Amino acid sequence: MTQEQLLQALKENQCLDLFELYYANQHRSFYQLVDDLYQLRDEHGLSTRISALRSEIEALTEHLDTESITPEQFAQICRNLDLNQRAHKMSRFILTQDNHSAFATTVDLVMFGDSITEWGPWHDALSNIKLANRGLAGDTTSGMVRRLSTTTACQPKLVCVMAGINDLSQGYSVQEVLDNYRQMLEHWESHNIEVWVQSTLYVGERIASLNPQVTELNQKLEQLCGEKNMRFIDLNTPLSPEGFLPLTHSCDDLHLNSNAYRLWIDTLAPQLDAFFQHQD
């Protein structure tokens, strides 16, 4: 859709259907689409709701005169947003760790990571392998170090791990991520669990400034795996051959769609089959 068509949609509707608009605008990232809609709405003085979702900032500001907001009111809004975000992330971490520990069963494979792992279709795509998904959206490698017991509780033969992009986006250094990885690898080593490190994935245009650090991290991870005689699996070559995550593999420059997961699984599955056949 052109900018004129997006403007027409804003004029003709009281509330937009972002799901429908995304699939009509897959040539741009979802973030760019929403930003374009906001700009067009503001430029033309429209009151169209961008989506039916009632956002947190709307709830916090509904009784305020946004034209004359005081510094104290602004500070309170910032505090509430910060509180809600931190509390939400930590409560999700606490509850996920608790549930993963309480309901752990013996499996052959653990997929361990952040949202990119959590949202993967592992049980559907790898249905011949008994596995546990231990991904957690928003997690960092330091959080994963705290969750290590949820992986060993499953007594797996193999752990496939991917992490690091959330650390880098929050300003942690490559060395800090590497140090956390070393702790994780040594933990699994001590439990005689095979470990495969999957490369931290490149990101798309919106956050592409992180990609040089991703390259550096992967170089160091591959070196660490070499030192420990562990397998390092390069997923960026099939998923991001140009050195950044393309729109054909993501709607938000970070998380993966089915095209990307299919390439990941095509790379990983034959290696898993060979490994478990050897185990038998």
List, for residues 117-136, the tens digit of each pLDDT value: 999 999 999 999 999 999 99
How many domains does the chain fold into? 3
Q: pLDDT > 70: what percent of the chain?
A: 100
Q: Which residues, 6 or more positions from 195, have their beta carbon under 8 angstroms from its beta carbon?
A: 158, 159, 161, 185, 188, 189, 230, 231
Residue span of the structural domain in which 40 resides: 3-59
Residue pair 122/108 in contact (Cβ under 8 Å)? The answer is: no
Mean pLDDT of 198-208: 97
pLDDT digits (tens, 9 = 90+) for 165-195: 999 999 999 999 999 999 999 999 999 999 9
The answer to the question of residue 273 being in a domain is yes
For residues 162 and 233, state if they share a domain: yes
For residues 95 and 233, state if they share a domain: no
| Cα separation, 53 vs 41, whole angstroms | 17
Q: Give the start-end residues of each E strand in 80-204.
A: 109-113, 131-135, 158-162, 194-198
pLDDT of residue 63: 82
| Cα separation, 78 vs 170, whole angstroms | 18
CATH of the domain at 157: 3.40.50.1110
The answer to the question of residue 176 being in a domain is yes
For residues 94 and 111, state if they share a domain: no
For residues 232 and 143, state if they share a domain: yes
Which has the minimum average pLDDT: 32-36, 66-70, 120-124, 201-205?
66-70
